[in-house]
Amino acid sequence: MKSILRIALTAALSATLFTTGAHAADPSPAQKAQQMRMAQCNKDAEGKAGDERKAFMKECLSAKKETQQNKMTTCNASAGDKKGDERKAFMKECLSAKPAA
């Protein structure tokens, strides 16, 4: 079951990278947030297997409400090495953005 989930996730990510042209441009803040959500859900799912893991991942990835702390962490990571007014403007936009559905 793990291998099927891993193959499906890899195929989905590959399709996304291919269709969005991610090789030519940096991912958007929404894409970075989704990538971070995936990483966090995978980390939180450690020790789970089979249907339990599948159900957990589905719930975790479809969570609509993001806490302010998680949003701040995601935006900080997405801000990268921006500094000064550029970082301030980016953080303002990122923190006020509505989560992707």
pTM: 0.41
Which sequence spans correspond to the domains of the chain? 28-96
Tokens standing for 96? 């006020």
The arithmetic mean of pLDDT across residues 19-30, rounded, is 66
pLDDT tens per residue across span 40-73: 889 889 999 999 999 988 888 886 666 777 788 8
Long-range contacts for 60-69 (Cβ within 8 Å, ≥24 apart)?
Answer: 61/37, 63/37, 64/99, 64/101, 65/99, 66/99
Q: In this predicted model, which residue has the larger pLDDT, 77 or 100?
A: 77
